[in-house]
Amino acid sequence: MRLVLLAVLAAFGLAADAAEPVELEPRVRVPAGSPVITVSENLLKGLGMSPDDIKAVKDEVARLNEARGALLEKVAEAKKALQAAQKGVDDAVAALGSQEAALHKFIRDRLAQDRAAEYDVRLQVQPVVDWLKLNEDQVSQLVAKQAKLLAEDPRPALEQATAAFQNRPKPKTEEEHKDYAELRKKYTEVLKKYATFNQTWLANIESVLTDDQKQTWRTRYRRAAVGEGAAPAAKE
């Protein structure tokens, strides 16, 4: 399945209306930090530490704990700054998405009604049209096929299911484990629909190509399997 999904990264080569690329970034973990450091005296004794060394350890723990309050305050301040910075990033990304949405609306408003309806689909297939130099008949066929497929686009549902699955609380009780299992089942079902959607999208493209175009397409498809391209993003 991984190769199929990676192949799609190049196959779509498109940006959905009012969408942004899916990016995976490292998460910053801010530890809560224990108010005090403690060391078990029994642990030290079990390790054969002398009474004098145990006292030295206790003195060192006391010294560190004396400075710990100030460090914890710095952690709290840094966490607030991090949250503020993340909000700034989120706001800026939202503004970028709003720009794109506004541009697409600007274009749609200047198209004939039938062309305006076609625009969203055409926008997504245009990179393939340009790359393989499809003729108008091929474009018409491809737009019709992809419009039918996009009528049941699973990407918004996948986005919601992914968010619900990632933000789920860690199950503790038996009931929570049941809820987790149900959530995982729904998530898996949407993933399967997404995989089918990807495969159908690829098949629709190949179905309108000439033999020469198929050769070019399949060469790019093989390159996509090792990680080229950009994943399609779900509409907002």
| pLDDT tens figures, 109-132 | 999 988 888 899 999 999 999 999
C-alpha distances in angstroms, 4 versus 126, 158, 199?
21, 17, 7
Q: Could you tell me if residue 176 is inside a domain?
A: yes
**pLDDT tens digit string along 56-83?**
999 999 999 999 989 999 999 999 999 9
Classify 103 as helix, strand or coil.
Answer: helix
- Dihedral-angle region of residue 38 (phi above 0 means left; psi in -120 to 50 means alpha; beta otherwise): beta
Q: What's the farthest any 2 CA atoms get from each other in the chain? A: 90
195's CB contacts (< 8 A; 6+ apart) are 1, 4, 5
Q: Could you tell me if residue 15 is inside a domain?
A: yes
Alpha-carbon span 43 to 33, nearest angstrom = 22
Q: Could you tell me if residue 232 is inside a domain?
A: no
14 has pLDDT over 50: no
What's the mean pLDDT in 191-220?
91
Q: Which domain holds residue 38?
A: 2-224
Q: Could you tell me if residue 233 is inside a domain?
A: no
Is 10 within 8 Å of 225 (Cβ atoms)? no
Q: Mean pLDDT check: name the lowest of 8-12, 94-98, 138-142.
A: 8-12
Classify 47 as helix, strand or coil.
Answer: coil
What's the mean pLDDT in 170-174?
73
Alpha-carbon span 76 to 226, nearest angstrom = 42
Phi and psi angles of residue 52, each rounded to the nearest 5 degrees, phi first: -65, -40
Number of domains in the chain: 1
The confidence score (pLDDT) of residue 28 equals 41
Alpha-carbon span 210 to 195, nearest angstrom = 25
**pLDDT tens digit string along 46-55?**
999 999 999 9
Q: Could you tell me if residue 235 is inside a domain?
A: no
229 has pLDDT over 90: no
18 has pLDDT over 70: no
The confidence score (pLDDT) of residue 137 equals 96
Q: How confident is the model at residue 22 (pLDDT cuts 50, 70, 90)?
A: very low
8 has pLDDT over 60: no
Alpha-carbon span 233 to 111, nearest angstrom = 24
Q: Could you tell me if residue 106 is inside a domain?
A: yes
Q: Could you tell me if residue 230 is inside a domain?
A: no
Q: Could you tell me if residue 90 is inside a domain?
A: yes
